[in-house]
Amino acid sequence: MAVHGVGLQINATTLAMVDDVDPGLYNFSEVLCDSVAAPLDCGYVIDPAARPVMEQLAARHPLLAHGNHGNEFGYDPLDETPGVRRHIAIAHEMKSPWYADHMFFGFRESAFMWSSPLQFSRLEIERVAGRAAALQDRMKLPLLHENAFYYARFPGSEIEEAEFIAGLVERAQTYLLLDLHNCYSNSVNFPDYDHWKFLKTIPLDRVIEIHLAGGEQIEDWYHDFHNHYVPEPVWEMLEYVLKHASRLEAVTLEVQGPAHSAKSHAVMPDWPFMVSNDLKRARQLWDSIRGPGGRA
């Protein structure tokens, strides 16, 4: 079986409820490389304690590799980053058809930090594209960039995020993981960020994967906590992208809650129902636009 159709990201939260969600509702499991990677100062790449879980997941569905803390777009030498030293081998071990990572600014000393966006500037397109092309060469797999949720733009940003992404994939000949909830969340929080303009600016023909999730409004900020149903505007965006992204292979649901942010509320008893409901809705939307055969 190939990675294709609607899938579920496996993390600490969804792993705990995986037996309560019908495995027939999803076609693949997305696995976070960092959750199975061995420390950088040991002689093996996959933590032996993580192998049994990987094997159980692989027995049910094809696996898809996703990286959060690869640090490939910071300033450390590329060959010293976790992206090269751990994620390449892990992605191939999973037989993943591609590797996706966030467009985060990261380096060794900031590896614990989450969601530090790149500077959206023309100079950074050149620098990041060089590293992205080099990583894709080393990967021997398509490299997908995931657009980030962020709390503030990186100082010195002079162009819009969508323009940055379009320039990056054109220069590096890489691909995209379009996180629709990250895009929607940024449009809620930043008055000058238009999620429809974003979708019409990025090259949709480079989108291979989509992420869906829900979030939470706390006072004057909407947080990408992955702790609620996928909101209606994100379903509208998915419908548009399903119609226009010719290379699209996979739609992945992310649910994490407290495993994603300590400020998120606890896992609720109805979350297996929430996950099942959103997986069903994504499948129905896929089938209504691409036909049921398109997800097989």
Which of 266, 285, 259, 274 lies closest to 10, judged by CA? 259
With tokens 């998120």, the residue in question is: 264
**Considering the complex, what minimum distance in angstroms separates the CB of residue 260 from Fe ion?**
10
Q: What b/e string do you get for 200-237 counting C-beta neighbours within 10 Å, with b at 16 or more?
A: ebbebebbbbbbbbbbbeeeeebbbbbbbbbbebbbeb
Regarding 179 and contact with Fe ion (CB under 5 A), the answer is: yes
- Span of 47-55, 110-118, 174-182, 243-251 interacting with Fe ion by CB under 5 A: 174-182
Query: Could you tell me which stretch among 19-27, 38-46, 176-184, 281-289 binds Fe ion (CB under 5 A)?
Result: 176-184
Per-residue contact flags (x/-) with Fe ion for residues 124 to 163, judged by CB under 5 A: ----------------------------------------
Provide, rounded to whole angstroms, the least separation between the CB of residue 40 and Fe ion.
Answer: 24
Nearest CA among 294, 196, 174 for reference residue 242? 294
For 109, counting Cβ atoms within 10 Å of its Cβ (0-12 exposed, 13-18 middle, 19+ buried), the class is exposed
Looking at the Cβ atoms of 86 and 181, the one nearer to Fe ion is 181
Interface pattern 87-116 for Fe ion (x via CB under 5 A): ------------------------------
Q: Which window, 125-133, 135-143, 205-213, 280-288, contacts Fe ion (CB under 5 A)?
A: 205-213
Burial of 266 (0-12, 13-18, 19+ CB in 10 A): exposed
Residue 260 found at the interface with Fe ion (CB under 5 A): no
Residue 211 makes contact with Fe ion by CB under 5 A: yes
Q: H or E element: which one contains 124?
A: helix 122-139
Identify which of residues 168 and 180 has a Cβ nearer to Fe ion in the complex: 180
Nearer to Fe ion, 115 or 276 (CB): 115
The CA distance from 146 to 148, in Å, is 6
Cβ 146 to Fe ion, closest distance in Å? 6
Which CB atom, from 124 or from 179, has the smaller least distance to Fe ion? 179
Q: What is the dihedral of CA 264, 63, 206, 123, to 10 degrees?
A: 60
User: Can you give the binding site for Fe ion, defined by CB under 5 A?
Assistant: 179, 211
